[in-house]
Every structure is written in C-alpha cells, then in structure tokens.
Amino acid sequence: MRKGSVVSFGMLGGMVAGFVLWSRQQVADRQSLFSDSPVRRLAALSYLRSQADGQTVTLLRDYLAWEPKPELRRRARRLLRRVERSLA
C-alpha cells in the first residue's frame, strides 16, 4: 500500500469517527436543554433541529424564556422559526 493512500485512509477514518462521536453526543445530550453547561445546551439545540413537532415548539418556547445567554437565545429563536415554518 502506498504512503499517500494510508494517510488518506487515516484521515477519512478520523473524520468518520469524529462524526459518529459527535452524533452520539448529540443524542446523549438531547435531555440537556436546561443543563448548567452551555456546551450541553448547544448540543441539545443541535439535536432538536431534527425533531420538528409540536412538542419541540413548546420546549423551545420554554427554553427561550429560561436561557440566560444571548447567543443561545438567538440560536433557539432561529430554530423555533424554522420548526414553526416546517409545521405550517
């Protein structure tokens, strides 16, 4: 096997492993929307992007009333608008 193909295979494997770990972390953190950790809250918001239903709308509205960080509130507001448009 050539050196270049080994390096390419290693890079591709690393990217796939990173994607899998990030996906698993998002699923694990879906319950962490009201966590003390801003990183966990961000992961929970990312997970909610794929959950477009009425429960998500209610949850996001509650979250917006609670969230102290302006950056996460903006992200949640954009997500809420997107979910509401998809349900309309």
Note the pLDDT tens digit of each residue in 1-54.
677 788 888 888 888 888 777 777 656 656 788 889 999 899 889 888 888 888
0.85 cut: is pTM over it? Answer: no
Residue whose pair of structure tokens reads 């295979």 in the numeric block: 9
For residue 54, how many C-alpha atoms fall within 13 Å in the half-sphere facing its CB? 0
- 46 CB burial (10 A radius; 0-12, 13-18, 19+): middle
Tell me the per-residue pLDDT of 41-87, one tens digit each, with 9 for 90 and over: 998 898 888 888 888 899 999 999 999 999 999 999 999 999 999 98
One-letter amino acid at 7 equals V
